[in-house]
């Protein structure tokens, strides 16, 4: 066996931060689904890659979140003294019922299909203003200059962040995603996470004061009032969940727009089809979500001993990593070439928004934002071309999959 072949044969099946994996995780998923669909990682976690098990686990009440137990197992008991971990432990995303039900119930009304559909004119206005600014230049970075502004502006609107405070969010760092990856953080990464969290906490405490004095028609006012009420949420829960909403509300959507635009331009027949038939946009967005999801994984913990998950036993307390990006390419569900982008594909039901009680709160909002952004871009800049569609620069994170930049000209 050549050295290269030997290295390949002994390489771990799951090395999600390796450059090769970040560039193209899909051949790795294919191998996992075929060879070991419930694979135990070097860090002792159960990695689930087929659609049937991923879809089952995210909805199964025998699995929960148990963030504190999971983190202390991985890092030791002192980890909960770290501000960033303490804050994450209060996210609704990391809670089991009844706390999850209580926290989600406080904000769910702002995300109903009706409320979000009402935001469409505002979304269109932001996209048009963004394009008005860049069109005279003849080139832009589709991530920084285009995809980024929309979700940030919308989540600032929803949280009641005043216009004059927003510039820092438009120019802020997008390096927080590493904390979600299933590879332990180094002490330096934990320190960086703490520093970013403390800055956000300081800002949001000021915003809470402002909204106590000047209530508005926004989520922050709603949550501040719930906190004052006493029994509905604590001050720590308030801060943590506002930070969650802010983060979840933009990074993921920026990447849906970016990954979708890259996929389209790498498949010129599909790009031409969408330009010719703009009414395909709704199905195209589902296909972009399926084809290259901006969230690749979500996690659960076994709340009891599980006797049989695709032939494996999972002891109580063990972590299960659900590979959403792999489930979306499972030929068992998409027999017609799952690795092909097809914006007319029937019955696309991506698992990119997770499932069960944690199903993404912002799913419909993200869909509409991506729909308006991509269809407006194709309509207003039909000549747009990517400068380098073959070797784009990916962000070095696994769970949040997205591009660092995507330069384009017209």
Binding site for ligand HEM (CB under 6 A): 58, 92-93, 104, 155, 244-245, 248-249, 252-253, 256, 293-295, 298, 352-356, 358-362, 365-366
* Closest CB to ligand HEM among residues 154, 210: 154
The torsion region of residue 292 among left (phi > 0), alpha (psi -120 to 50) and beta comes to beta
* Closest CB to ligand HEM among residues 104, 345: 104
* Closest CB to ligand HEM among residues 170, 359: 359
DSSP string for 237-299: HHHHHHHHHHHHTTHHHHHHHHHHHHHHHH-HHHHHHHHH-GGGHHHHHHHHHHHS-SB-EEE
* Closest CB to ligand HEM among residues 8, 115: 115
Q: How far apart are CA 64 and CA 239, in angstroms?
A: 23
* Closest CB to ligand HEM among residues 280, 357: 357
Cβ pair 43, 184 in contact under 8 A: yes
Minimum CB distance to ligand HEM, residue 156 (Å) = 11
Q: How far apart are CA 115 and CA 124, in angstroms?
A: 15
Which of 268, 222, 266, 261 lies closest to 245, judged by CA? Answer: 222
Which of 373, 353, 369, 372 lies closest to 361, judged by CA? Answer: 353
Minimum CB distance to ligand HEM, residue 99 (Å) = 11
Minimum CB distance to ligand HEM, residue 406 (Å) = 16
Cβ pair 81, 327 in contact under 8 A: no
* Closest CB to ligand HEM among residues 123, 140: 123
Minimum CB distance to ligand HEM, residue 190 (Å) = 23
Cβ pair 199, 237 in contact under 8 A: no
Minimum CB distance to ligand HEM, residue 367 (Å) = 8
Helix 251-266 × helix 235-248 angle, to 10° = 10
- Integer angstrom CA distances of residue 101 from 90, 95, 109, 311: 13, 9, 13, 32
* Closest CB to ligand HEM among residues 44, 97: 97
Minimum CB distance to ligand HEM, residue 98 (Å) = 13
Minimum CB distance to ligand HEM, residue 362 (Å) = 2
* SS3 state at 171: helix
Q: How far apart are CA 275 and CA 383, in angstroms?
A: 11
């Amino acid at each position: 066996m050549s050295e290269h072949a030997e290295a390949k044969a002994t390489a771990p099946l799951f090395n999600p931060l390796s450059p090769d994996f970040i560039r193209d995780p899909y051949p790795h998923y294919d191998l996992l689904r075929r060879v070991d669909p419930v694979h135990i990682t070097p860090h002792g976690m159960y990695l689930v890659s087929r659609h049937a098990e991923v879809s089952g686990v995210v909805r199964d009440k025998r699995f929960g979140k148990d963030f504190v137990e999971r983190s202390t197992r991985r890092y030791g008991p002192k980890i909960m003294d770290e501000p960033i971990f303490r804050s994450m432990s209060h996210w609704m995303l990391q809670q089991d019922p009844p706390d999850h039900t209580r926290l989600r119930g406080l904000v769910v009304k702002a995300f109903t299909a009706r409320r979000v559909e009402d935001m469409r004119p505002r979304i269109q206005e932001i996209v048009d203003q963004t394009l008005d600014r860049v069109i005279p230049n003849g080139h832009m970075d589709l991530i920084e200059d285009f995809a980024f502004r929309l979700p940030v502006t919308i989540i600032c609107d929803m949280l009641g962040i005043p216009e004059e405070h927003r510039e820092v969010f438009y120019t802020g760092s997008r390096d927080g995603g590493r904390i979600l990856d299933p590879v332990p953080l180094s002490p330096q990464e934990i320190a960086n996470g703490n520093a970013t969290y403390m800055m956000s906490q300081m800002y949001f405490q000021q915003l809470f004061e402002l909204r106590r004095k000047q209530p508005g028609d926004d989520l922050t006012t709603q949550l501040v009032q719930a906190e004052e009420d006493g029994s509905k949420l604590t001050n720590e829960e308030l801060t943590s969940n506002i930070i969650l909403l802010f983060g979840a509300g933009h990074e993921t959507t920026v990447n849906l727009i970016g990954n979708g635009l890259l996929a389209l331009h790498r498949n010129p027949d599909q790009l031409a089809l969408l330009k010719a038939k703009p009414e395909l946009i709704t199905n195209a967005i589902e296909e972009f979500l399926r084809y290259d999801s901006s969230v690749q994984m979500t996690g659960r913990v076994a709340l009891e001993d599980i006797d049989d998950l695709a032939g494996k036993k999972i002891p109580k307390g063990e972590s299960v990593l659900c590979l959403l990006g792999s489930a979306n390419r499972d030929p068992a569900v998409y027999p017609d070439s799952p690795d092909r982008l097809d914006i007319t594909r029937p019955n696309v039901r991506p698992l990119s928004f997770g499932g069960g009680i944690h199903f993404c709160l912002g799913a419909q909002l993200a869909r509409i934002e991506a729909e308006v952004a991509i269809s407006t871009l194709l309509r207003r800049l039909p000549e747009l071309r990517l400068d380098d569609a073959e070797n784009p620069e990916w962000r070095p994170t696994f769970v949040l999959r997205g591009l660092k930049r995507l330069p384009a000209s017209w």
